[in-house]
Amino acid sequence: MKLPVLRNVTVFLIGFFCYNIALGQDLANISGAVVDSLSNEPIDFASVTLLNQQNNKVVKGGQTDEQGRFSFGDISPGTYTLKASFVGYNGYEQRAIKINSGQTLAVGNIKLSSSSSTLLKEVVIEGTPPAMQMGIDRKIFNPEQSIVSAGGNASELLANVPSLSVDMDGNVGLRGSTNVKILIDGKQSALAGSNINTLLESLPANSIQRIEVMTNPSAKYDPEGQGGIVNIILKKNIRTGFNGMARVGGGSYNNYNGGIDLNYRDTKFNYFGGYDFRKRNNPGSGFNDNRYNDGSRVYNTSDNGRKGNSHTVRLGADFFATEKTTLGLSANMNLRDNIRREDLFYTYYDPTGAIIGTSPRYTNQNEDDTGYEFNFDFKREFEREGEELTANVSYGRSKEDGIQTFEQTATDPSIVIDPNRINDTYEDGKNVNIQVDYVLPFSKEQKLETGYRTTLRYSDEQQLSNTLSSSSGLYEPDYNLTNDFNLDDVVHALYANYQNKLSDKFGYQVGLRAEQAYLNTEYVSYDPSLAPENRSTKGRLDYFRVYPSIYLTQELSEGSSLQLSYTRRVNRPRGWQVNPFLDISDPVNYRQGNPNLKPEDIHSLELAYSKRFGKVNLTSSVYHRITNDVVEMIVDSAAAGTNVTYSTFRNISQNRATGVELISQFTLNKNFDFMANFNGNYQSFSGSEEYGVDANSGFNWDANLTANGRIAKGLTAQLRGNYMAPRVMAQGTSTSMFFADAGLKLSVLEDKGSIMFNVQNIFNKARFGGTRSTAQFNSEFQRNFMKGPRAMLTLSYRFGKRPPDQDRQRKREENSEDFQGGGEMQ
């Protein structure tokens, strides 16, 4: 985007905002929050209604946000009645509220007390819960609505969230970028070890309360991630009394799952815990076709599988020390065993096209992973409404211990192979998070957020490689692939956010985050032929950066708003990207990390518009992203004679992406609703002469549609389709991809139980592929996510007092007709 264009757009927006500031000065607004009368915890999705006291007609209505807050704008002067309610609580009503012209009225905290009656038989489900809510810097998705992900894992659930995509390796993409920061409860989870994708595959989808997607997160959050942040919030029950839920499921390819969640709450303590078991099996296939410039060719097919068992345990307690002070302790543990298999079948061709010979290669890997973490949380509310201090200290550790074996034979002696090899791998990682946040409101519209955060991540990775000697017939150490790699990743950060409104309709938020980051690495060789002083190679990345964030928000009219935002972000090199261990699992395509990588520097500008048209909610965004020092996996060379390709991560100059995203929610009636998402962007890679990467550009787009329907009382259905068009990569183009899922949910046992059946990959099109071009060869590749459709049947039963998620869902559905599908408050 050229500077004159930016300047003209900025001038137009400023003038547009200023014009709208003058509108609506005679109208008033009212705001407040709904909280639990005992704990002062916010009650999200509580129903709030403003009625004209003279005729008792509803003037405004909706539900509170995740902080329990509500706000009604564009209110004419008069006398009103305010009502608030939530299932399981006694209703609240305040009459004779006088609102004057242009007044901003804050009613403070509305405290709801628990109802003695928990009978909910009279409540009738009349629709489906809202799938998405909007925050100032995020989109919030409700996973309860995703029937097609029932019985699945977190990775499968993320694939069904608008704006997100997940490839067959579990990499999460956001608006065309797979450099996305994944957080669990607002922080990096130690359970993941060095690979968050493995944790997502073992984390049950039904343990997730909500998913927050931040494309332009404020200075309060870690700026890491080119595409943005995906924050996964896990369930934590806080209802009075004892309640729980048990579930069990099974499906095709011997996939099984089961678990139980328990919770007990009284006036002083809240105890919660849970256990989940997953037995997973994901078979797949694919091919790779390398054609070299001399006319020779290597073609291989693959048959692979990933399976294993995982056990997840969660325990915790909250102590309500006073009305305004809460202390929390929690612990998580995850045990996984992973079995990976890949059978590769190669065919080799000479420059004339004649077959030289064939070679099968069998790879097996068995790995045991253990991860645990402890969390201490503190929250203190002060007398001033909205003023609070929160703190978190967490420690986690993960260990991975594995054995990888390779066996290969060839029909022709001229074919260079690695006949037999055993790799013994070990990884030990530690994570420490220290965070303090403070919120100081100066008024209803004006507040300051500030905080400090330190994250410490230490990792020790070791590989002992032994190869079968043809002369002795024994396994002997291969010191080229035997080594240690140690990593220290340290980040210290301070941030401040200031938020204010210049009028009833125009507000802004500015923030600044300062970070000092260190990435220290050490590569240790075991080669006895090297002198001791030459066996260690150390690297150090030390940099200080400032990350600003700016948000300008203009409410245009009833149900519509406009927001302009800018943030600076970073994508720090990850452990496996800087680890120089050589991955030889594919003998003709070697891969390794690069300890000299620099962090990406990202600048993101976004203009977002949201509008409610009766039963349609539309959210649209236009964005422009500039990424400097782009990190890409680059094929550097192909070895003469063997044609083995070497790939490593490189910084390749710059990438620019300009795009548009559209998300629409449409409620046809009380029985049917739809959510559609479209994202398209034009990407331009500047290339790199140093690494032989040509400039490349093109238009990428993807779209998905989710339909929800109530077939009969207690029976709902969901259908989802996703299409991804061919995408531009640094050295080639990916092929298109399409997959469709469907599911049914039947409520049984007076709505205490449910039976869910879903089928994923209905048309067997879930596959990733593409072409790659270098100076030495061209290649075509394809990898299938799974073999054929996959079905899953899941049974669940709730006991005790009804969990809050179901209460919220029921209350939202009960009110959906009154407020035309709910949605945001204005």
Each domain of the chain, given as residue ranges in start order, spans: 3-112, 132-815
Helices and strands, counts by H and E, the chain: 5, 45
d(CA 386, CA 766): 47
Q: What is the pLDDT of residue 806?
A: 44
In degrees, rounded to 5, the angle at the alpha carbon of residue 170 between the alpha carbons of residues 169 and 172 is: 125
d(CA 710, CA 702): 28
d(CA 275, CA 334): 10
d(CA 281, CA 661): 35
Q: What is the pLDDT of residue 488?
A: 92
Kindly state the helix (H) or strand (E) to which residue 814 belongs, with its residue range. Answer: helix 804-815
Does the global pTM surpass 0.85? no
d(CA 542, CA 489): 10
CATH no., domain 132-815: 2.40.170.20
Q: Strand runs (DSSP E) across 92-227, as ranges?
A: 92-99, 104-112, 132-134, 139-141, 164-166, 172-174, 180-184, 208-214
In degrees, rounded to 5, the angle at the alpha carbon of residue 166 between the alpha carbons of residues 725 and 275 is: 160
DSSP character string of 637-661: EE-TTT--EEEEEEE-SEEEEEEEE
d(CA 530, CA 514): 42
Q: Strand runs (DSSP E) across 53-130, as ranges?
A: 58-63, 69-75, 78-85, 92-99, 104-112
Q: Are 801 and 767 in contact (CB under 8 A)?
A: no
Strand partners, 600: 571
CATH topology agreement for domains 3-112 and 132-815: no
Distance linking the first and last C-alpha atoms of the chain:
33
Question: Could you tell me which of 501, 605, 511 has the C-alpha nearest to residue 555?
Answer: 501
DSSP annotation of 150: T
d(CA 815, CA 811): 6
> What kind of fold does domain 3-112 have according to CATH?
Immunoglobulin-like (2.60.40)
Q: What is the pLDDT of residue 801?
A: 58
Q: Which residues of the chain have pLDDT under 70?
A: 1-26, 39, 66, 87-88, 114-137, 144-152, 160, 165, 167-171, 173, 175-179, 187-195, 197-199, 201-202, 226-227, 236-240, 558-559, 587, 636-643, 801-826
d(CA 339, CA 283): 11
d(CA 148, CA 159): 11
d(CA 69, CA 71): 7
